[in-house]
């Protein structure tokens, strides 16, 4: 048996809906390495994405393995079963070595047995004024708060324990990386709540290496952060301090770190996150998803001809189907239909017009976040095109690869991990 599989300090979760961009994505990680910063790639894909595309976890694994072979990447890499639960985990067991256990649905549900009382009895040390090094204000945790937080999260932690143990039985202890995600829920977790959750996770014996809380503010799909930046910065910094505290006092994995499920393009957060990581010498897992698919569209449009035609056709179809396409993502998109260009207008656009409306350059006059968000959720349209879409991805590979790599390196890896 090899040692324990351990997630590196810096890692980036990359989505690759159609499993054609693993190489240009890995290329961006190689560029970061050339800048002296190791960022480990993790290819993540959820059950929902697999279902919509009609793909399997094995195809994500195959694309990752092939990219690693082709580029001669000698550092670690992982394949993440993203947002799995007890119902969906089994089909990911073979292909994945990273599991994001999503227990958000159980937040607020009653739990089995009497663990709330047990937690409160076992952790009297949390009560009173608790000064955690690096946290801006001491936490004041009273019995009522502890009971309330335990009531809210313990059923979720118990379920995470069941999923973790299923995985441990199938894959072997230490042979996979565990993340717990609680981001897909209505209200953010405060740093004090995060502490209680971590204590409960430690008691449940789940050796998580990363945890994704829900942060304050809106993390909409494919567009920038909307919220109180100062509040986010303080919360993020306090969360990092809480994690360091939980590692020291509750025997959690020494590499435990936050996982930021970004909705993909929260550019304004990267500066504050970068500064906090430096201040605490902390790691982070940044999970992006979906924007690679938009770079495919940008690459197709930029190539002109058939590529541009197909991109326009996808938009026209997404425009017609927008209500259905948006419904599953209602909580994480914000589209003003009045600002969506009519397909007849888009049909006359040049490659530059299409690209500048879609590419995420907030300062660009022509950038249209409504257009971008609709296409973000419009991957179903391309999935339905099947071989026709995939064929053009191969034909226009050069134009697409340049955009995929540039997007990941310039807009994500550089500002977040390298700090430029």
Q: Residue 284 pairs with which residues in a beta bridge?
A: 10, 258
- Contact segment (CB under 5 A) with Zn ion among 113-121, 177-185, 303-311, 394-402 equals 177-185
Minimum Å gap between C-beta 343 and Zn ion is 31
- Contact segment (CB under 5 A) with Zn ion among 52-60, 246-254, 260-268, 406-414 equals 260-268
Which of 157/301 has CB closer to Zn ion?
A: 157
Point out the residue whose Cβ comes nearest to Zn ion.
Answer: 261
Yes or no: say if 61 and 26 are a contact pair by the CB < 8 Å rule: no
Minimum Å gap between C-beta 150 and Zn ion is 24
- Contact segment (CB under 5 A) with Zn ion among 123-131, 143-151, 175-183, 265-273 equals 175-183
Which of 83/274 has CB closer to Zn ion?
A: 83
**Sign, Cα dihedral of 192, 333, 273, 40:** positive
Which of 124/331 has CB closer to Zn ion?
A: 331
Which of 215/389 has CB closer to Zn ion?
A: 215
Minimum Å gap between C-beta 348 and Zn ion is 38
Number of residues that bind Zn ion (CB under 5 A): 2
For residue 387, count CB atoms less than 10 angstroms from its CB and return exposed for 0-12, middle for 13-18, buried for 19 or more: exposed
Which of 219/371 has CB closer to Zn ion?
A: 219
Dihedral angle over CA of 35, 278, 292, 85, nearest 10: 130
Q: Residue 102 pairs with which residues in a beta bridge?
A: 181
Which of 20/261 has CB closer to Zn ion?
A: 261
Which of 261/372 has CB closer to Zn ion?
A: 261
- Contact segment (CB under 5 A) with Zn ion among 123-131, 179-187, 227-235, 328-336 equals 179-187
- Contact segment (CB under 5 A) with Zn ion among 138-146, 178-186, 226-234, 326-334 equals 178-186
Minimum Å gap between C-beta 219 and Zn ion is 9
What's the per-residue H, E or C state across the chain? CCCCCCCCCEEEEECCCCCCCHHHHHHHHHHHHHCCCCCEEEEEEEHHHHHHHCCCHHHHHHHHHHHHHHHCCCCCCEEEEEEECCCCHHHHCCCCCEEEEECHHHCCCCCCCCHHHHHHHHCHHHCEEECCCCCCCCEEECHHHHHHHHHHHHHHHHHHHHHHHHHHHHHCCCCCEEEEECCCCCCCCCHHHHHHHHHHHHHHCCCCCEEECCCCCECCCCCCCECCHHHHHHHHHHHHHHHHHHHHHHCCCCCCEEEEECCCCCHHHHHHHHHHHHHHCCCEEEECCCHHHHHHHHHHHHHCHHHHHHHHHHHHHHHHCHHHHHHHHHHHCCCCHHHCCCHHHHCCCCHHHHHHHHCCCCCCCCCCHHHHHHHHHCHHHHHHHCHHHHHHHHHCHHHHHHHHHHHHHHHHHHHHHHCC
Single residue of 183, 234, 239, 265 touching Zn ion by CB under 5 A: 183
Which of 27/261 has CB closer to Zn ion?
A: 261
- Contact segment (CB under 5 A) with Zn ion among 186-194, 200-208, 237-245, 255-263 equals 255-263
Minimum Å gap between C-beta 331 and Zn ion is 12
Minimum Å gap between C-beta 151 and Zn ion is 24
Minimum Å gap between C-beta 49 and Zn ion is 12
- HSE-up of residue 187 (Cα within 13 Å, Cβ side): 10
Which of 104/382 has CB closer to Zn ion?
A: 104
Which of 179/317 has CB closer to Zn ion?
A: 179
Single residue of 17, 214, 257, 261 touching Zn ion by CB under 5 A: 261
Region 72-111 residues binding Zn ion, contact defined as CB under 5 A = none
Minimum Å gap between C-beta 194 and Zn ion is 16
Site for Zn ion contains 313 (CB under 5 A): no
Minimum Å gap between C-beta 101 and Zn ion is 11
Residues that bind Zn ion (CB under 5 A): 183, 261
């Amino acid at each position: 048996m090899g040692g324990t599989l351990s997630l590196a300090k810096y890692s980036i979760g990359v989505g690759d809906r159609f499993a054609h961009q693993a190489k240009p994505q890995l290329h961006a990680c190689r560029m970061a390495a050339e800048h002296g910063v190791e960022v480990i790639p993790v290819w993540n894909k959820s059950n929902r994405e697999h279902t919509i595309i009609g793909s399997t976890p094995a195809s994500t694994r195959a694309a990752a393995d092939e990219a690693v072979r082709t580029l001669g990447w000698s550092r670690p890499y992982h394949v993440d079963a993203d947002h799995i639960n007890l119902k969906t985990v089994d089909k990911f067991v073979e292909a994945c070595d990273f599991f994001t256990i999503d227990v958000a649905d159980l937040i607020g549900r009653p739990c089995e047995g009497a663990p709330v009382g047990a937690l409160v009895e076992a952790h009297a040390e949390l009560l009173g004024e608790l000064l955690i090094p690096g946290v801006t204000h001491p936490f004041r945790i009273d019995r009522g708060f502890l009971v309330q937080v335990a009531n809210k999260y313990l059923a979720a932690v118990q379920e995470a324990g069941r999923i973790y143990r299923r995985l441990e039985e199938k894959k072997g202890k230490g042979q996979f990386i565990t993340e717990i995600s609680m981001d897909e829920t209505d209200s953010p977790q405060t740093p004090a709540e995060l502490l209680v959750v971590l204590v409960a996770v430690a008691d449940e014996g789940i050796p998580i290496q990363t945890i994704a809380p829900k942060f304050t503010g809106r993390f909409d799909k494919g567009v920038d952060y909307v919220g109180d930046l100062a509040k986010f910065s303080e919360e993020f910094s306090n969360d990092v301090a809480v994690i360091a505290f939980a590692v020291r006092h509750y025997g959690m994995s020494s590499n435990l770190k936050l996982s930021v499920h970004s909705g993909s393009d929260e550019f304004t957060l990267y500066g504050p996150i970068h500064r906090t990581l430096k201040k605490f010498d902390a790691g982070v897992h940044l999970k992006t998803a979906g924007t690679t698919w938009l770079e495919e569209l940008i690459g197709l449009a930029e190539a002109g001809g058939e590529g541009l035609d197909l991109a326009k056709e996808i938009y026209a179809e997404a425009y017609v189907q927008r209500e259905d396409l948006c419904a599953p993502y209602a909580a994480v998109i914000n589209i003003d239909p009045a600002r969506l260009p009519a397909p007849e207008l888009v049909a006359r656009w040049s490659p530059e017009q299409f690209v500048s409306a879609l590419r995420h350059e907030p300062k660009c006059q022509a950038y249209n976040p409504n257009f971008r968000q609709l296409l973000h959720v419009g991957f179903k349209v391309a999935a339905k095109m099947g071989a026709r879409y995939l064929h053009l991805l191969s034909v226009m590979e050069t134009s697409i690869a340049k955009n995929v790599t540039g997007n990941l390196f310039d807009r994500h890896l550089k500002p977040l991990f390298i700090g430029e």
